[in-house]
């Protein structure tokens, strides 16, 4: 049986795939919306820029003052293969950014630098303090961590663990091109050397991340900074 034929029309039928809105209208609308949205975003960026920069500066100062308690002001520097230069803008390739903490008299109280290593849940990022006089690490603070609450975050409160950082030995070797002894996290209760970190029982992976983060950052930074300490001894 034949299907009933549709009645013939004088005008040509519209193909089903033809868009009902002209292409130009769609482009015009998207252009209009994009312009409005662009203006809103740029306005918000300009309006919040100074407040965001100020917040970042305060957060950085707080972090440095926490690991170098005697510091009252900070200076930002790049450590490159050729020496130490004051930091400005983004870190250039191959350079390491670090912060010099100055006491109330403007004298160098310590150097703070970032270290990072893979922990249990994610990368553990820390800021540690290096004191040139004792050639040791005297403290660290957390920059970011997603470690298990109640377990991984013990690295900030466990007294035995924090005791590792009273004077953690990071002396350079005679050639001044690497640490004399690699900073290493050892199993809880087996620490025998001043460059070892006694891990927290039950949070060994996070403890190791702290040790690795300090070791890798110190191995890269200290051979570049130590020979040029005189250039950062006083606040510029």
Partner 1 sequence: MNLGQAKTFDEFMEGIWRQNPVFVMALGMCPTLAVTVSAINALSMGVATTFVLICSCLLVSLLRRVIPKEVRIATYIVIIATFVTVTDYAIQAISLTLYDALGAFIQLIVVNCVILGRAEAHASKVSPLTAVINAAGMGAGFTIGLLALGTVREIFGNGTLFGISLFGANFQPWVIMVLPPGGFFVLGGWLLLFAWWAKRRDKAALPADKAAEGHQHA
User: Interface residues with partner 1 (CB under 8 A)?
Assistant: 19-21, 25-26, 29-30, 32-34, 36-37, 40-41, 44-45, 47-48, 51-52, 55-56, 59, 144, 148-151
Minimum distance, C-beta of residue 103 to partner 1, in the bound complex (Å): 26
**Of the two residues 37 and 156, which places its CB atom closer to partner 1 in the complex?**
37
Instruction: Compute the least distance from the CB of residue 16 to partner 1, in Å.
Output: 14
CB of 99 to partner 1, least distance (A): 17
Q: Shortest distance, CB of residue 65 to partner 1, whole angstroms?
A: 16
Instruction: CB nearer to partner 1: give 26 or 163.
Output: 26
What is the torsion angle, in degrees rounded to the nearest 10, for the CA atoms of residue 69, residue 73, residue 77 and residue 79? -30
Closer Cβ to partner 1, 152 or 211, answer by number: 152
Q: Which is nearer to partner 1, 48 or 173 (CB)?
A: 48
């Amino acid at each position: 049986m034949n299907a009933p034929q549709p009645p013939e029309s004088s005008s040509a039928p519209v193909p089903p795939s033809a868009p009902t809105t002209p292409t130009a209208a769609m482009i015009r609308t998207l252009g209009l919306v994009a312009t409005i949205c662009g203006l809103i975003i740029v306005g918000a960026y300009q309006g919040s820029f100074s407040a965001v920069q100020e917040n970042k500066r305060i957060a950085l100062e707080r972090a440095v003052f926490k690991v170098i308690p005697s510091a009252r002001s900070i200076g930002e520097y790049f450590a490159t293969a050729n020496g130490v230069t004051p930091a400005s803008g983004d870190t250039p390739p191959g350079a390491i950014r670090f912060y010099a903490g100055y006491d109330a008299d403007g004298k160098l109280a310590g150097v703070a630098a970032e270290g990072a290593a893979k922990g249990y849940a994610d990368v553990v990022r820390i800021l540690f303090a290096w004191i040139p006089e004792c050639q040791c690490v005297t403290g660290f603070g957390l920059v970011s961590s997603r470690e298990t609450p109640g377990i991984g975050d013990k690295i900030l409160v466990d007294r035995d663990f924090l005791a590792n950082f009273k004077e953690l030995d990071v002396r350079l070797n005679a050639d001044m091109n690497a640490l004399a002894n690699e900073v290493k996290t050892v199993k809880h209760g087996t620490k025998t050397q001043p460059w070892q970190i006694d891990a927290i029982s039950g949070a060994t992976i996070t403890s190791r991340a702290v040790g690795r983060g300090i070791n890798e950052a110190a191995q890269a930074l200290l051979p570049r900074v130590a020979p040029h300490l005189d250039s950062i001894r006083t606040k510029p």
